[in-house]
């Protein structure tokens, strides 16, 4: 969980040291969602957890919010999507606002779902981290 939290914090660093290049922000976002999803694999393969790790990974696969993360991860990692599409999530748009005063950039990534609903990248990551915390706390791991 610590790596996922660090990636999320790097994305949110814009409060203290704003991103000034859109590609850097996007890279930080992609790393954060990848670390958030791959936590499932780390837990499933942690020998110290034994069968509990596999049970937690299975439970994670039933959380719709994490299905959205999984779709985004597969879209950002592979040129051609070959994995099962879970939630029909896609990177819909990006926008940037740059301050002429100090060059600070406010970047927004929008994720669209098949049902027409949308998430911003930051809100999606916040809610995904909350889902992980709830799942792990429920198993006495946080």
pLDDT given for residue 15 in this prediction: 42
pTM for this model (two decimals): 0.80
First to last CA, the chain: 9
Total count of domains within the chain: 1
15 compared with 26, residue with greater pLDDT: 26
Chain segment 45-92, per-residue pLDDT in tens:
999 999 999 999 999 999 999 999 998 888 887 766 666 778 888 888
pLDDT value of residue 48: 94
Average pLDDT over residues 26-33: 89
- At 126-137, the pLDDT tens digits run 999 999 999 999
- Residue 80 structural domain: 2-138
Q: How far apart are CA 123 and CA 83, in angstroms?
A: 25
* Mean pLDDT value across the chain: 83
Secondary structure letter of residue 120 according to DSSP: E
pLDDT at residue 108, rounded to an integer = 87
Pick the closest to residue 122 from 38, 25, 57 (CA basis).
25
**b/e per residue 80-117 (b: at least 16 CB within 10 A):** eeeeeeebebbbeeeeeeeeeeeeebebebebebeeee
At residue 38's C-alpha, the angle toward residues 69 and 44, to 5°, is 125
Q: Which pLDDT score is estimated for 85?
A: 78
């Amino acid at each position: 969980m610590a790596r996922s939290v660090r990636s999320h914090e790097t994305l949110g660093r814009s409060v203290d040291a704003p991103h000034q290049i859109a590609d850097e922000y996007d890279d930080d976002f992609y790393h954060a969602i990848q670390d958030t999803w791959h936590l499932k694999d780390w837990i499933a393969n942690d020998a110290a957890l034994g069968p509990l790790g596999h049970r937690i990974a299975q439970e994670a696969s039933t959380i719709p919010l994490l299905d959205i993360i999984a779709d985004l991860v597969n879209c950002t990692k592979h040129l051609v999507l070959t994995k099962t599409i879970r939630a029909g999530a896609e990177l819909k748009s990006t926008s940037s606002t740059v301050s002429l005063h100090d060059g600070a950039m406010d970047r927004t990534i929008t994720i669209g779902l098949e049902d027409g609903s949308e998430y911003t990248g930051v809100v999606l990551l916040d809610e995904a981290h909350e889902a992980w915390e709830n799942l792990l706390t429920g198993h006495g791991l946080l």
